[in-house]
Each structure stands twice: as C-alpha cells, then as structure tokens.
C-alpha cells in the first residue's frame, strides 16, 4: 500500500483503503497529491511534501482536505495514485508528480476524468493534456534561453550534452536544437543515462575526449550531481551548466567541491533576497523560505518546495472564483476551477507570476527565472 503523510500544520491527510466506499465531499475541497518521497527523486518530492506545512487549511471559507501519496517516481504507481484520487477520494483537484514521466501519467488520468491537474514537473502538454493540466515549474524554453545567452556571452560555441534518457532529457535536447543552434551554438556530443544509474564514467570519458567548450547536464534531484562530480574527476575543466531540475541545497551537499563554479538556471525562490522590492516573486519567496528554513533548517530551501507551495498560491486566487459558481465535489466546481485558471491574471507566487491561457499551460515569463552559480559552497547570482 502506498504511504500517506500527515503534515505538521494540521493539514488533513486521508487515505481511503482499497474497497472502502467512496463518498463525494460537498463541504470541503479535496486535493489529491502524488509526489516522489522515496527513490532517486526523493530530493524533489520531499520538499514538495514538506511545503504543504505552509499552505492554507481553508480557502474561501471552505476547508481543504489534502491526500498525499508516494509514487516512488514510477509512472505506473503515479497512475494508480491518480486513479485512486478519482474513484475513491472524489478529488476536486490533483497535483503531481515530482518528475516528468510520472507527471505525464497523472496528466493522462486527470484529463480523462475531467479534473484540474497541477503538474509539479515540466511535462510536454499536447492537445490531449491541454484542457485540464497546467504546470507549475518553468517551461524549458524560458530556462534554456537564459543558459544559452550566458553561453554566448562567455564565448562558448560547442556544448556537450549529458541528460536523462527519458522525456525530461528529450525536452531539453529538443529545446537546445530549437533555440541554441540558431544562436550559433553546436551540440558536439550527446550522451544519456538512466535516473537510477550509479555511474556515468563511460559517458563522461566520451565528453572529456570531445572537449567541448561547455557541458550541459540535464538531470534532476541528487542524480544531477553524478555527472557533475564525474566530469570533474575525469579532468574536464570547462564550464558545466545545470538545469532548474538540480536547484536545491542537496546538489551542493552531494557534489561537494565539484559544484563550485557550476552555472545553474533556477526559479527566483532560490534567492528572493537578491530581488528588487518591486519583484512580485519576492514576498512569496521570502515567506516560503522563512517558514521552511525555520522548520527544516538553515539553507534547506528548494526549487521544488516552491512548486507545490505555488500551486496553493494559485488556488487562493481561483477557488474563491469557482465557489461563486458551484459547490466542491461536483463536475461543475471542477469546470469552474478550470475556467478560473484562465480568467485570473498576474497571480504572484514564489517561482513566477502566472498568466495561464487555454494554450499556454505554463503561464510564465522571464520573471520566473534567475541564473546562479556556486561559490564557497553557496548559491550566488551568476555573472
């Protein structure tokens, strides 16, 4: 049986047992969340779960009931969790998962059932997923652009690529070809590895032999540290770039000295202190990090905590609008949420300012990204 987690902020976490009768809720809003709190991607899912300590217990005067399940990063388990939310919990909203493949699986279930879905990982949103799914993380083109511009500014022409051999790696490889190549950059070598791999020595040797001007690592969670450390151990001296999938303190902890000098795209939640007071992302970013680090320790902030936290920042705007049209537990309420996601504009959150449309299911712009480096074991703005 999948695990359910009870948050310390008195968030209700309920797990229906197999075979128990499903009861439609009309006096509370039910939100089913599947995240990865075990396995290689736990460094993503645990902060996403932890940030639920700091989200509202009610919105628009209606109690929020949150159901949290672990999917271990497995698309099949994520599908099972999502179907339980639909059939047993009668969820009004579904969130998850922590990495791209299980998020795609959850999106499929949510769109089949007609339930609003908040993806907590980047995912390809095609026509089949566009109606009911939105994504909280920054879209790859926005994050890719800031990295490619940094490469150009630093005289880089050839780029080695090492990334996950799945849909997350594909998203970045395709974006490099779509954006970076027209900018004059060349992908000189492309290597892939699996999320559970414990060695990338062979791939690193090929990259070092090719000796590109820079290397782009496309991975997430603690797995992003593996190519970083291996490349440095094998003698690569050039710039190494990492995506926002690596933006956490765990990356620095695991990569150690090899993390020094990395160039990383990130959401603004990783450094709200460096933002001007006029930035709409500064106040929510500071609020989340202050609460999170007070409970989980100094420098425990995470890009991924912002994804689930920000989903509730969005819901604080859209649920009151939906409640004027329908009651929770009904198809009409789910449709009202879907429409409110489109009608509400400039929704400020820790990771960006959201303006969803029927076609733009990420709803973010350049305000959703910053570029960092690691200096003396700490993240600082990159130059």
Tens digit of each residue's pLDDT (9 = 90 or more) over 17-36: 333 334 444 589 999 999 99
Question: Does any domain span residue 228?
Answer: yes
Statement to judge: residues 116 and 18 lie in one domain: yes
Residue with tokens 């620095």: 252
Per the domain annotation, does 150 fall within a domain? Answer: yes
What residues have CB less than 8 Å from 357, skipping those under 6 apart? Answer: 342, 363
Domain check: are 145 and 128 in the same one? no
CATH number of domain containing 163? 3.40.50.2300
Residue whose C-alpha is closest to residue 150's, from 30, 58, 263, 285: 263
**Do 31 and 93 contact (CB within 8 A), yes or no?**
yes
pLDDT in tens, 190-212: 999 999 999 999 999 999 999 99
283 part of a folded domain: no
Does some domain include residue 275? Answer: no
pLDDT of residue 20: 35
Give yes or no for residue 4 having a pLDDT over 90.
no
Non-local (6+) Cβ contacts of 360 within 8 A are none
**Do 82 and 121 have their domain in common?**
yes
For residue 290, what are its two tokens?
């202050």
Q: What is the DSSP string of 271-294?
A: -GGGS-TT-TTHHHHHHHHHHHHH
176 and 127, same structural domain? no
Whether 350 and 310 have beta carbons less than 8 Å apart is answered as yes
Three-class SS state of 306: helix
Q: In terms of domains, do 229 and 178 share one?
A: yes
Indicate the range of 8-17, 263-272, 297-306, 363-372 predicted with least confidence. 8-17
Tell me, yes or no, whether 291 lies in a domain.
no
Please tell me the distance from the alpha carbon of residue 123 to that of residue 362, in angstroms, as a whole number: 10
Q: Are residues 148 and 262 in the same domain?
A: yes
Q: Which residue has the tokens 């699996």?
A: 194
**Domain endpoint, select from 266, 291, 322:** 266
The pair of structure tokens assigned to 289 is 């990090």
Provide the percentage of residues in the chain whose pLDDT is more than 90: 89
Instruction: Give start and end residues of each alpha helix (H) in the chain.
Output: 42-50, 75-87, 100-113, 140-153, 167-175, 201-210, 225-233, 249-255, 282-296, 303-323, 331-343
Asked whether residue 107 falls in the same domain as residue 162, the answer is no
pLDDT, tens digit (0-9, with 9 covering 90-100), for 228-260: 999 999 999 999 999 999 998 889 999 999 999
pLDDT score of 101 more than 80: yes
How confident is the model over 131-170, as pLDDT tens digits? 999 999 999 999 999 999 999 999 999 999 999 999 999 9
Tell me: do 134 and 144 sit in the same domain.
no
Same domain for 155 and 126, yes or no, is no
End-of-domain residue from the set 266, 291, 309 = 266
The verdict on 260 and 351 lying in the same domain is no
Shared-domain flag, residues 144 and 238 = yes
Q: Do 92 and 209 fall within a single domain?
A: no
Model pTM score: 0.87
Say yes or no to pLDDT of 221 above 90: no
Residue 3 placed within a domain:
no
* Residues with Cβ within 8 Å of residue 376, at least 6 apart in sequence: 260
pLDDT given at position 26: 58
pLDDT higher than threshold 70 for residue 39: yes
Asked if residues 188 and 211 have their Cβ atoms less than 8 Å apart, the reply is: no
Assess whether pLDDT exceeds 80 at residue 15: no
Within-domain flag for 375: no
Domains identified in the chain, total number: 2
CA–CA distance, 176 with 143 (Å, rounded to integer): 11
Q: What is the largest CA-CA distance in the chain?
A: 63
Tell me the residue range of the domain where 85 lies: 12-138+300-364
In a domain, 315, yes or no: yes
DSSP state, residue 73: T
Indicate whether 374 pLDDT > 90: yes
- 133: closest CA among 96, 98, 178? 96
């Amino acid at each position: 049986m999948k695990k359910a987690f009870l948050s310390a902020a008195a968030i209700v976490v309920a797990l229906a047992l197999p075979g128990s009768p499903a009861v439609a809720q009309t006096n509370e809003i039910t939100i089913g969340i599947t995240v990865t709190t075990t396995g290689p991607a736990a460094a993503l899912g645990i902060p996403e779960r932890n940030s639920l300590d700091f989200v509202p217990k009610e919105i628009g005067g209606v109690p929020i009931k949150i159901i949290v399940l672990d999917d271990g990063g497995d698309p099949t388990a994520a599908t099972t969790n999502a179907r339980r939310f639909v059939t047993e919990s009668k969820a009004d909203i579904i969130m998850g998962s922590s990495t791209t493949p299980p998020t795609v699986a959850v999106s499929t279930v949510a769109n089949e059932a007609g339930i609003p879905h908040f993806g907590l990982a980047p995912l390809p949103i095609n026509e089949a997923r566009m109606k009911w799914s939105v994504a909280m993380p920054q879209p790859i083109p926005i994050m890719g652009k800031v990295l490619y511009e940094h490469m150009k500014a630093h005289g880089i022409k050839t780029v080695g690529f090492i990334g996950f051999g799945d849909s997350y790696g594909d998203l970045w490889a395709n974006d490099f070809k779509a954006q970076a190549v027209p900018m004059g950059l060349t992908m000189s070598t492309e290597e892939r590895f699996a999320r559970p791999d414990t060695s990338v020595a062979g791939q690193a040797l090929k990259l070092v032999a090719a000796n590109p001007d820079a290397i782009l690592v496309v991975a997430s969670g603690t797995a992003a540290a593996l190519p970083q450390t291996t490349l440095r151990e094998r003698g690569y001296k050039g710039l190494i770039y990492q995506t926002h999938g690596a933006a956490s303190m765990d990356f620095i902890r695991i990569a150690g000295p090899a993390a020094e000098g990395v160039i990383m795209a990130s959401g603004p939640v990783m450094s709200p202190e460096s933002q001007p007071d006029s930035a709409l992302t500064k106040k929510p970013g500071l609020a989340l990090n202050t609460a999170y680090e007070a409970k989980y320790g100094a420098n425990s902030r995470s890009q991924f905590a912002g994804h689930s936290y920000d989903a509730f920042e969005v819901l604080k705007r859209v649920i009151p609008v939906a409640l004027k049209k329908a009651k929770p537990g009904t198809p009409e309420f789910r449709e009202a949420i879907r429409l409110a996601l489109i009608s509400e504009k400039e929704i400020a959150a820790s990771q960006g300012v959201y303006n969803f449309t029927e076609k733009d299911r990420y709803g973010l712009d350049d305000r959703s990204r910053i570029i960092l480096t690691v200096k003396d074991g700490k993240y600082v703005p990159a130059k």
